Amino acid sequence: MAGMTEGIIETIEVVDVKDIEPMPIRIRKMKPEEKALLYRSIVELGYVEPIQVCKYTKPTDLVQREPPFYLIVNGQHRFDVLVEELKVEKVTVVVLGENWDREKYWSEAIRLNNIRGDYDIIKLAERIRELQASIPDWGMLRERLGFTPTDAIFQKVLRLIHEVDKEKAKRLKKKIEKGEVGVDELSRILSETLSGLSNRKLIILSLRGIKLMVFECDDEVWEKLTRKKEQMGAEALWEDFRNWALGMGN
């Protein structure tokens, strides 16, 4: 049996529970009383909403397991009830696709889990930050994940990411000013800074003699640096930036 939803091929299979791998990180929370209601619903009404999975026939960095296996995309709590409470050995699953990469997996997992329930905001923010590295436009990323422009959850995630970024920048600046960041770490830190902070007053690092200097850039400069990093790589960008900074002192 097969169908097509938003470009995703769906097939239904019956598989052994030992061949199903739990979600790498649980982005949805469930209270004990909610789990009890889910258990009663499955017992009284049956297993009417199959778990959705991605089939892996190739290795993936999402989990430490050799293929083949099925990785849960949506329905982790249902799986827990079926295995832990009802002790089932086989489960009917909907296979959404095969061998998804990290971006595809988390995009679909967040979008499908967006239908109901409470998110673990911190874990959700971590996954959205990871996706933002490959989908830098917040509007495109929001649409990809199925959130509306005024969605309270997405706005809460953005506020959390912004606050984390500001604290990260402050801590990094203090370490530099105290001389706690060594020259050998500079290239790595520059790369992390360009990919790990949102484009709001970002700190850029360079070397002047034996001292470290701190630069702040606006959104326009940030975009130029990001494009240059994509074109030439972090190491080459760091070398250019270092030469420019050293030239300031001549």
- Predicted confidence (pLDDT) per residue in 47-84, tens digit: 888 999 999 999 999 999 999 999 999 999 999 999 99
Q: Per-residue pLDDT for 109 more than 70?
A: yes
Domains of the chain: 2-116 (3.90.1530.10), 167-248 (no CATH)
Token pair, residue 6, equals: 């938003």
Q: Which pLDDT value is given to residue 2? A: 46
Residue type at 39 in one-letter notation: Y
How far from each other are the two terminal CA atoms of the chain, in whole angstroms?
72
Q: What percent of the chain has pLDDT over 90?
A: 28
Report which of residues 70 and 221 the model is more confident about. 70
Select the highest-mean-pLDDT range: 8-17, 44-53, 181-190, 207-216. Answer: 44-53
pTM comes to 0.58
103: Cβ contacts below 8 Å, ≥ 6 apart: 131, 134, 135
Q: Which pLDDT value is given to residue 91? A: 94
Cis amide bond preceding 68, omega within 30: yes
Distance CA 93, CA 49 (A): 9
Q: Which pLDDT value is given to residue 15? A: 96
Select the highest-mean-pLDDT range: 34-48, 135-149, 205-219. Answer: 34-48
